[in-house]
Structure 1
Amino acid sequence: MDITRSFHMNDGVDATSYAKNSALQKGIIDMANHITMDQLKDLYMKNESEKMVIADLGCSSGPNSLSVVRDMVKTVADTCRENKPMPEFLIFLNDLPSNDFNSLFKSFPDFYTQMMGTPLILSIAACPGSFYGRLFPTQFLNFVYSSNSLHWLSKIPRGLNDEKGNSINKGNIHIAGNSPKQVVEAYTDQFREDFPKFLMLRAEEIVVGGRMVLIFNGRAGPDHFDRGFPLLWSILSQSLNIMASHGDVDIEKLDSYNAHYYGPCKDEVEEHVRKQGSFELDRFDVIKPNIGVMHCIVVSQGIRAVQENLIREHFGGNINVDKIFELFTILLIEEAKKEAINVVNFIVALRKN
């Protein structure tokens, strides 16, 4: 499967769309918002340019992206009234070409209406492409923001099959408690390749002194399986296995389905930033939203909005996605009743050296 062509959130604005089911991501954005705005405000006060060039990498579709842009512009506007002239804004919304940019564009009129009363020159443009490749000219960007995106790998890791092409992680779609160490190594190696490359590419595109705020999934410690996001992947695997036991999912297709996801631990991120060397780590915060029983339906709907397109492409368009996520919700509620599920997220603020 070509991730750059196939991966996107559910488009549109209907009941199963990402636009209607991204409350978990919005909650994480809001928890990190004060850090994002403090970094932007500090950059603005030290920036000598009359322009502010900002990129949102992995913007997706729906209301979350433009809500962050609105907060950024208002933060600078409130600061400039007291200290400096208002800069011109050039904002790029980036995601894979398969992203639903049309829905995003349709929300622009409402966005500009909300910004009325703020004297500004603001241009917004789409920039389709993978952030694991170059996107912008050299030393072009002042500020890079990315939320809920960097846990997605550039591709499905190599090394998940044996010499005959058979899965070595049967019954699982990600790292699970019973996964062999080769699976853990394959995912770790792919992150070890992707994350430093992301830092290197952004270092070429960001001006000296520019900032990045990166918000992405992680895990609590060195153990690759915990009661956070790894548990959610395990529950999705269980749901698909139940479907397979009823004959509703082909077992061979299940064994060949692998998520292109990796949640690192804090030490891994810090090590890669230090070794790559282009950025100074300004701050590193860890937030752990709690998934209780009352949140399970919302979480299930959110994961469906993220995974449905890949599931349909891999298993076939006729697969009963409703049933998969009915099972997922039941299993998630059972787990939440046992013990709270804490999904680990990192907020990483970086400064270009």
Structure 2
Amino acid sequence: MEAPGCGLPLMKGGEAETSYARNSSVQRTFVEEAWPITEEAVFKLICGINGDKLTLADLGCSSGPNTLSIVANVLDSVEEGRRRFGRTPPEVQVFLNDLPGNDFNTIFLSLQDFYEKREALKGAEGLCRCFVAGTAGSFHGRLFPSRSIHLFHSSSSLHWLSQDPLKTQAERGMFLNKGNIYISEESLPSVVDAYTRQFQSDFSGFLKSRSVEIVAGGRMVLTIPVRTSLDPAQEEFIRIWNLLSQALKDLVQEGHIKEEDVDTFNLPLYLPLALEVEQEIHKEASFSVECLKVFETRLNLLLEHATVSIPQSITNCVQAVLEPLLVRHFGSDIIEALFSKYKKMIEEDRSIVKVKLSNLVVSLVYKV
């Protein structure tokens, strides 16, 4: 996914050490955890829809190895489903969606190899023909013609908001979340309310848009990072962001950035409760919940196979996700110093590597 409202990349493109392509193993694990639910949705879709064409949209696809691996897994399931139900192989149109600044070029350059590997592994006979295209735009609004998509998929993207929830107040000179870049124990109740309202508005808009674009009998599988604490400030995972706040404040004290720059920077993301997600789905009322499950794991377990130390791996992951957004607000000159400080803080806070991550997988069916 990308920086809300501007079309600029949120995830860092390319293949460098701190790129998203090389630091997305956590997100890959989330996709793998959700896969049995995604596969079941594909099977039910194949069983319930007749036709020789199937259209899939992956929303917030980003770039890197996860993008086409998701496509490959869906195609495998489509082929298994058509064999199971005695159907002829459909032609599959895949739309990969993200904002215009996403590194689509890396994806497109790897497509020929992707097609060739599929044919080599499976043989051309009986293989679903697949056509992959990019769709640039925000998933918070309309992206596709009405009644055109059979299956929507989105993983590790819907916690990103369409904008900084405190942007309007900051433009009026009201710095409601001074010294913090996300909800913390120091945040005012109005900060939490602003984040909550922004998520509700964005997710409701997302559902409304998909309800127009999906076909009768269509399905949607969403994987969303969530929290388990009623109080957002008490969630373990926000310590990741709190340390980054502290690193930025250290740069203020050293004269590298202005205090006002930190006070006007708020991460455009929100970790909802699973209940909040479910409530918005019921309120919008276009989809039925077929399956809803929360997976939990520890950060160090997700990174245990990393080729660098866990503190370095955490630092690389955060930098891969946030560097473009930080550069846009603070400039590029601070990045090296910022993440050097950040890594040192993680090394000193030994318990942070064991923070818990919770992930919600929800499978939805469009109400005809």
How big is the shift at 1:65? 1.0
User: Percent of aligned positions with the same letter in both sequences?
Assistant: 37
In 2, Cα distance between equivalents of 1:342 and 1:34: 22
In 1, Cα distance between equivalents of 2:105 and 2:291: 35
- Counterpart of 1:65 in 2: which secondary structure? helix
Map residues 35-74 of structure 1 onto 2, 5 A cutoff.
35-74=37-76
Map residues 85-104 of structure 1 onto 2, 5 A cutoff.
85-104=88-107
Q: Which of the numbers 109, 112, 136 marks the counterpart of 1:109?
A: 112
How big is the shift at 1:323? 2.4
In 2, Cα distance between equivalents of 1:338 and 1:250: 28
- Is the 2:41–2:363 Cα contact (8 Å) retained in structure 1? yes
Map residues 173-252 of structure 1 onto 2, 5 A cutoff.
173-252=181-260
Q: Which of the numbers 279, 304, 308 marks the counterpart of 2:287?
A: 279
Tell me if 1:261 matches 2:276. Answer: no
Tell me if 1:304 matches 2:312. Answer: no
- Counterpart of 2:37 in 1: which secondary structure? helix
- Is the 1:291–1:336 Cα contact (8 Å) retained in structure 2? no
- Is the 1:152–1:262 Cα contact (8 Å) retained in structure 2? yes
- Is the 1:160–1:186 Cα contact (8 Å) retained in structure 2? no
CA displacement, residues 102-159 of structure 1 (integer Å, 9 cap, x when unaligned): 1110111221122112522211111000011111111110000001110000111147
User: Taking structure 1 as reference, are residues 257 and 160 closer, same or farther at Cα in structure 2, changes over 3 Å only?
Assistant: same
How big is the shift at 1:217? 1.2
Q: Which of the numbers 157, 162, 168 marks the counterpart of 2:176?
A: 168
In 2, Cα distance between equivalents of 1:77 and 1:303: 37
The 4+ residue runs of structure 1 with deviation greater than 6 A are none
- Is the 2:8–2:100 Cα contact (8 Å) retained in structure 1? no
In 1, Cα distance between equivalents of 2:171 and 2:352: 40
Q: Read off the aligned partner of 1:113 and give its amino acid letter.
A: E
Moved more, 143-152 or 74-83: 74-83
Normalization by structure 1: what TM-score? 0.94
- Is the 1:153–1:261 Cα contact (8 Å) retained in structure 2? yes
Q: Read off the aligned partner of 2:227 and give its amino acid letter.
A: R
- Is the 1:218–1:344 Cα contact (8 Å) retained in structure 2? yes
In 2, Cα distance between equivalents of 1:44 and 1:340: 40
In 2, Cα distance between equivalents of 1:227 and 1:301: 22
Moved more, 50-59 or 1-10: 1-10
- Counterpart of 1:289 in 2: which secondary structure? strand
- Is the 1:160–1:183 Cα contact (8 Å) retained in structure 2? no
- Counterpart of 2:73 in 1: which secondary structure? helix
- Counterpart of 1:190 in 2: which secondary structure? helix
In 2, Cα distance between equivalents of 1:309 and 1:110: 29
How big is the shift at 1:160? 6.8
User: Taking structure 1 as reference, are residues 186 and 284 closer, same or farther at Cα in structure 2, changes over 3 Å only?
Assistant: same
Map residues 145-160 of structure 1 onto 2, 5 A cutoff.
145-158=153-166
Q: Read off the aligned partner of 1:204 and give its amino acid letter.
A: V
- Is the 2:43–2:77 Cα contact (8 Å) retained in structure 1? yes
Match of 1:128 in 2: 136
CA displacement, residues 229-254 of structure 1 (integer Å, 9 cap, x when unaligned): 32211121111112222222221111
How big is the shift at 1:205? 0.4
Q: Read off the aligned partner of 2:229 and give its amino acid letter.
A: G
In 2, Cα distance between equivalents of 1:42 and 1:5: 35
Mark the runs of 5 or more structure 2 residues left unpaired by the alignment.
305-309
How big is the shift at 1:162? 6.8
- Counterpart of 1:203 in 2: which secondary structure? helix
In 1, Cα distance between equivalents of 2:252 and 2:19: 26
Mark the runs of 5 or more structure 1 residues left unpaired by the alignment.
none
- Is the 2:4–2:161 Cα contact (8 Å) retained in structure 1? no
In 1, Cα distance between equivalents of 2:272 and 2:105: 32
Normalization by structure 2: what TM-score? 0.91
How big is the shift at 1:280? 0.2
Aligned length in residues: 352
Match of 2:307 in 1: none
Map residues 71-82 of structure 1 onto 2, 5 A cutoff.
71-82=73-84
User: Taking structure 1 as reference, are residues 162 and 130 closer, same or farther at Cα in structure 2, changes over 3 Å only?
Assistant: closer
User: Taking structure 1 as reference, are residues 187 and 279 closer, same or farther at Cα in structure 2, changes over 3 Å only?
Assistant: same
Q: Read off the aligned partner of 1:18 and give its amino acid letter.
A: Y
- Is the 1:93–1:124 Cα contact (8 Å) retained in structure 2? yes
In 2, Cα distance between equivalents of 1:101 and 1:149: 16
Q: Read off the aligned partner of 1:301 and give its amino acid letter.
A: N
CA displacement, residues 188-225 of structure 1 (integer Å, 9 cap, x when unaligned): 11111111110011000001211100111111132112
- Is the 2:195–2:270 Cα contact (8 Å) retained in structure 1? yes
- Is the 1:235–1:331 Cα contact (8 Å) retained in structure 2? yes
In 1, Cα distance between equivalents of 2:236 and 2:32: 19
Q: Read off the aligned partner of 1:304 and give its amino acid letter.
A: Q
How big is the shift at 1:2? 6.3
- Counterpart of 2:232 in 1: which secondary structure? coil
CA displacement, residues 302-321 of structure 1 (integer Å, 9 cap, x when unaligned): 110110011111111222x1
How big is the shift at 1:258? 1.0
User: Taking structure 1 as reference, are residues 44 and 335 closer, same or farther at Cα in structure 2, changes over 3 Å only?
Assistant: farther
